[in-house]
Structure 1
Amino acid sequence: MAAALFCSFLLSAVIARITVRTQMQIWWNYVDEEAYFKAVESEGPNYVADIPRPSAYEMTQSDHFVSELCDFLQTYSVLILSIAGSCGAVFLFYQNKLRKPMEELAQASKKIAENHLDFGITYENKDEMGVLCKEFERMRKQLARNNQILWRMIEEEKMLRAAIAHDIRAPLSVLKGYQEMLMEYLPSGDINMGQAMEMLSESGRQIERMDAFVEAMRKLSSLENRELTAGDISARQLEKDIQAELTILEKEYGKQCRLQALESKEEFCGDKEIILEVMENLLSNALRYGKQQITIIVKIRYAELSICVRDDGAGFREDAEKIAEAFYGQNVKDSLKHVGLGMYISRLYCEKHGGKLILENDEQGGAVVIAIFRRIA
């Protein structure tokens, strides 16, 4: 702006000087030269006589127009050139300092309105617009982070609901199996009252398990937040709990299950509900993909508990890490009934229990899954 005003004043001074000389030349054409020189000679060598301004009717139309134009330029050239210089300075300032950041901010606002946050603002000058663009970029990054957090929360809620539906299926299957057995055998007297009461007692235990599971899930915001409840677990007790469910699952799937619980006087300290849920997930997968026989091997030691489930199916066709992902399904038709959370939940619970989930193929065919739990107290 200062440079523009300086140039305007300088140029207006040059124009004023030119217009004065132009006017003098025009007016000189209408002066009596003899009288002018006599007046100058009579007054002395230092005397300067002004050239009189001729009247409008004395000058030709073109000379009068030029003379009036010179008057106008002498009066208004400073104002006109100052305004023009200021406008030019403002235009150059807009082109060099405002246009690019304003266009970037406009495009950024449009993308944010369309919920497209995978872009960046490249204007990085250290002027006021640079500071504004920097703050706008910081806002965009924070919005992107907030969106990621929101989507992660939505995915965790979705996974939690699917986990509830998945883990509650096994107790429901047991209850359904006991109900079918009672309806089939009780009227005909094929089972006695003691056996019927035992089935009802086991049904009550499954209902309590579902109650405890639903109450635990109700308090959670994600699967990772589920707290472990430590308790002593013996080999005989765990064998009895697993065998009670095998009786029903064998009938449901029409396959044979063989349980091997190695005798041990040591007791393991862990969360029995989580261990049973993992066992049910592994057994459910083995029964779906196995052909005829499923083998479950349980080993209990003081510091570690392991459950190995082996089937005679086709084995795993994918990498172990991919199989243990959430919502993974090996069989497309199978996904109509199963949401692909069994292995993911099992891996997550094993890791929460300080252990791990091992997936591999047997050399003789079939899949082998080993769930390892570490002592928690």
Structure 2
Amino acid sequence: MEKMKNLSLKMTIILYMAIALAVSAVIGFALTNCAVNVQEDVWFKYINKEEYIQSVKNENGNNYLTTIPRIRSKYMSEEDVFIVEICDIVETWGNLTISFLSCTIAVFLFFRQKLRTPLRMLSEASSRISENDLTFEITYEKEDEMGRLCKNFEKMRKELINNKKKLWSMFEDERTLRSAIAHDIRTPITLVKGNLEIVNEFFPLHKLSDKKVIEIINKTIQHTEHLEHFVDMMKYLNSIVDIEPEYETLTYKTLGTKVYEVQRQLCEKNKIEFKYEHNDIDCMLNVDSVFVIEVEENLLTNALRYANNRILVSLGIVGDYLVLIIEDDGPGFKENPQKYLQSYCKCKKEEDGDVHYGLGLYISKSLCVAHGGELRLENLEYGGARAIAKFEVNK
């Protein structure tokens, strides 16, 4: 019964039509025979019975079936003429009519069993989607073509929900980012304005020494550089939303050399002990090395900001992914690590009060996602932080 339930639409309609034609053939045969018998019974009333009985016997006395001759209408009563004509109609059109009715019933049953429910569900679903309502679920148990169509429709609905969540998340990030920009630009602008007001008010009165004026000018330059850097980061962040990787084919060893050189240069510049680990393999990769190096630089810059003495970089292949891992021996993340992947996360290093905006981590996450991978942050068990960047390389 389960196999019958899950038959394909093509096999189901063939089965229904075959049954309908078989049933119509049996009924038509029976009806035609019945009409012939009724006609012969009517005609039998108008023939010479003795001659007929004699005609069906041969010289040896054996009996044979003999067709009763058709009687002309003028020799029969009106009632018998009517009956004979009805039987003629049944013989001529009966099989065709019964076949048509049987096929019609078969099509109706096929529609009711195989099409009505899924079409209704899909129609309701499309109407609700057009109304921007995704709070429903399409459940259809049969494994035929309509069942697969309903599953694909349900998959599309879930994908629409995910896209809607992503879009809403992007909207929220953008709104937060704009609010953050307005807040953080206001602070250095206020400081610059305050410094200029001090100079404007006291310098003409010779109440400021040259040393103090130079100090105010230097602070103003720092604030403007801070603003310039922040604006540049905002421009880069906006441009990275639509960036696409430009794949190239290169060896794992070649990419590993590039990764090592970036680590060596940054760590030696910051006088931090470093270690590089990699798989002892050599294979061809389909990868955008610029993406990988950009992510490494951002993650290393973040790690160098908090590392005490040591940084570890690991590069390997796991399945279809290139995996870049960067660990530091700093204090680790004080809050949920994934929070630092948001487009705006204001972070502060308590020892020197240095404030930065976490945009490097967000940019790294965007590059990983664009490359078919992901970026994950976590705290190490014995202190320190770990960043795991994945890039799909075998597309």
Class of the TM-score when normalised by the shorter of the 2 chains: 0.5 to 0.7
Q: Which residue of 2 aligns with 1:92?
A: 109
Q: Which residue of 1 aligns with 2:282?
A: none
Q: 1:99 Cα shift?
A: 0.8
* Contact 2:346/2:358 (<8 A) preserved: no
Residue 13 (1) aligns with residue 29 (2): yes
CA RMSD of aligned residues (A): 4.3
Structure 2: runs of 5 or more not aligned: 1-16, 241-265, 271-303, 307-328, 350-354, 360-383, 387-395
Percent identity, aligned pairs only, is 36
The within-5 A match list for 1:143-158 is 143-158=160-175
What's the TM-score, normalizing by structure 2?
0.54
Q: Which residue of 1 aligns with 2:283?
A: none
* Contact 2:118/2:146 (<8 A) preserved: yes
Hey, what's the Cα distance between the residues in 2 that align with 1:78 and 1:102? 34
Give the alignment partner of residue 139 of structure 1, picking from 156, 169, 183. 156
* Contact 1:26/1:67 (<8 A) preserved: yes
**What secondary structure is seen at the aligned counterpart in 2 of 1:133?**
helix
- Which sits farther off after the overlay, 83-92 or 196-205? 196-205
Hey, what's the Cα distance between the residues in 2 that align with 1:42 and 1:113? 84
Give the alignment partner of residue 77 of structure 2, picking from 60, 79, 82. 60
* Contact 2:195/2:220 (<8 A) preserved: yes
Hey, what's the Cα distance between the residues in 2 that align with 1:205 and 1:132? 62
**What secondary structure is seen at the aligned counterpart in 2 of 1:124?**
coil
* Contact 2:140/2:147 (<8 A) preserved: yes
* Contact 1:12/1:77 (<8 A) preserved: yes
Q: 1:80 Cα shift?
A: 1.7
Give the alignment partner of residue 181 of structure 1, picking from 198, 205, 214. 198
Equivalences, count: 258
Give the alignment partner of residue 218 of structure 1, picking from 235, 254, 258. 235
Hey, what's the Cα distance between the residues in 2 that align with 1:5 and 1:98? 21
Hey, what's the Cα distance between the residues in 2 that align with 1:115 and 1:191? 65
Q: Deviations over 1:12-53 (max 9, x none)?
A: 121112111211222123224455456568975625554322
What's the TM-score, normalizing by structure 1?
0.57
**What secondary structure is seen at the aligned counterpart in 2 of 1:118?**
coil
Give the alignment partner of residue 40 of structure 2, picking from 24, 42, 47. 24
Q: Which residue of 2 aligns with 1:126?
A: 143
Q: Which residue of 1 aligns with 2:305?
A: 270
**What secondary structure is seen at the aligned counterpart in 1 of 2:196?**
helix
Hey, what's the Cα distance between the residues in 2 that align with 1:48 and 1:5? 31
The letter for the 2-side match of 1:171 is: P
Hey, what's the Cα distance between the residues in 2 that align with 1:138 and 1:207? 51
Q: Deviations over 1:320-364 (max 9, x none)?
A: 99xx99xxxxxxxxxxxxxxx99x6348979969xxxxxxxxxxx
The within-5 A match list for 1:359-374 is none
The within-5 A match list for 1:1-377 is 1-33=17-49, 35-37=51-53, 44=61, 46=63, 48-220=65-237, 270=305, 345-346=346-347
